[in-house]
Chains A and B, each alone.
Chain A
């Protein structure tokens, strides 16, 4: 029996880890039954006096993540995939609003980095109102399909990476459920431009408004990859079905590698990863991950994460 056989046997015998396929070194295993594990709210930068009015308008209200038992009005506590709690990101009920949770690490090597999670996405239930609420976007309620599915905008998994003398870049994968007109697209997309930064605002180059898309504000800067993918919303806003996501990037080549979502594996090697033109100080070996959820309607959107595992081959 080889060392890798022993390792595989140990992983497969552990119910916490057997649902993942980690690379050889696990950097983080975040089971949200035991806290938030460093997934915290993202906030833009501010001046030396702690004056939060100096934070960019589009980066000052990304909302604190919550430990959620997935409680709903109709059935009470749903619970998570494992145990009771999931990490929940919740937007405000304001079109364009985004909630973000970020996890901050640094790199002790270069090579493959893999993030795995089990996630679910939902819109908030609507209670009351008239029959006009049975229609939204592409959906007319028919006993199966539910208008709340068209009230969900997009969720994103991304990195913020820097090294090699201050070269900074993001790898990004976004599931766009609907466009800004609330029509289904169900398409994976990635940005072709780097994320706007507080320094660009400080230097007067960019000023984005509240609820602007902070990852890439111009919808034309997002390009599809892979084929459209229908995920499991399961009809109403209060049924939680967990999806598997595995995302592999290469910090040696500064590239995406592949994204797996349930049974679909998408080759991302040709998805561009545009770096910042200028070099960055104080970010050496930066290895950040974030999840975000963005509503395209005036309805709160939620992203639930049962657990997250980050592993590397170095």
Chain B
């Protein structure tokens, strides 16, 4: 049986400016998938997966941008990451954001 875990890193949080999610440690996991949902607001945001060796210093994983518009649920996988994951987001307007990180061993 594989280990799996879902973490809710933002729970209907309103953003009016760029942000990063809190660091999340996933050393045990072999794969991950982001789910980003804009549950409110009229703005859009562009998201990029970031990785870190220590939870403090960050760089983009692959540079791929994922755009979420009002009402949309957007999802993408992350693989080959180190032991930490987070998202950085560039926000235009106002977005109320729900972010799930689903990870599996």
Contact = CB atoms under 8 A, between A and B. Distances in A.
Interface of A: 34-36, 41, 43, 52-53, 60-61, 63-64, 66-69, 71-73, 77, 84-85, 88, 90, 92, 124-125, 127
30 contacts: A35-B3, A53-B12, A60-B11, A60-B12, A61-B13, A63-B22, A64-B8, A66-B7, A67-B5, A67-B28, A68-B25, A68-B27, A69-B27, A69-B28, A71-B27, A71-B53, A71-B54, A71-B55, A71-B84, A72-B54, A73-B54, A77-B27, A84-B28, A85-B27, A90-B23, A124-B56, A125-B54, A125-B56, A127-B56, A127-B57
A99 B100 CA distance: 17
A67 B24 CA distance: 9
Interface of B: 3, 5, 7-9, 11-13, 22-28, 53-57, 83-84
B5 A36 contact: yes
Contacts of A77: 27, 83
Contacts of B24: 64, 66
Interface SS of A by simple majority: loop
Nearest to A52: B12
B33 to A, nearest CB: 15
B22 A52 contact: no
Q: Which of A60, A64, A125 has the most CB of B within 10 A?
A: A64
A60 B8 CA distance: 11
Contacts of B11: 43, 52, 60-61
A304 to B, nearest CB: 11
Nearest to B84: A71
B51 to A, nearest CB: 12
B8 A41 contact: yes
A67 B4 CA distance: 11
A-B interface, 10 closest residue pairs, ranked by CB to CB distance from nearest:
A73-B54, A64-B7, A69-B27, A52-B12, A66-B25, A68-B25, A71-B83, A67-B28, A35-B3, A127-B56
The B interface, classified by DSSP as helix, strand, loop or mixed, is loop
A134 B93 CA distance: 39
Contacts of A41: 8
Contacts of B55: 71, 73, 124
Contacts of B56: 73, 124-125, 127
Nearest to A126: B56
A67 B25 contact: yes
A43 B7 CA distance: 13
Nearest to B6: A64
Nearest to B24: A66
Contacts of B3: 34-35
A64 B9 contact: yes
Contacts of B28: 67, 69, 84-85
Contacts of A35: 3, 5
Given A60-B11, A61-B13, A73-B55, 14 more contacts: A34-B3, A41-B8, A64-B8, A64-B24, A66-B24, A67-B5, A67-B27, A71-B25, A71-B54, A72-B54, A73-B53, A88-B25, A90-B22, A92-B22
A88 B8 CA distance: 15
Most buried by A among B7, B24, B55, B83: B55
B8 A69 contact: no
Contacts of A68: 25, 27
Contacts of A66: 7, 24-26
A230 to B, nearest CB: 27
Nearest to B22: A92
A124 B22 CA distance: 13
A69 B25 CA distance: 8
Contacts of A60: 11-12
B47 to A, nearest CB: 18
A105 B4 CA distance: 22
Contacts of B7: 64, 66
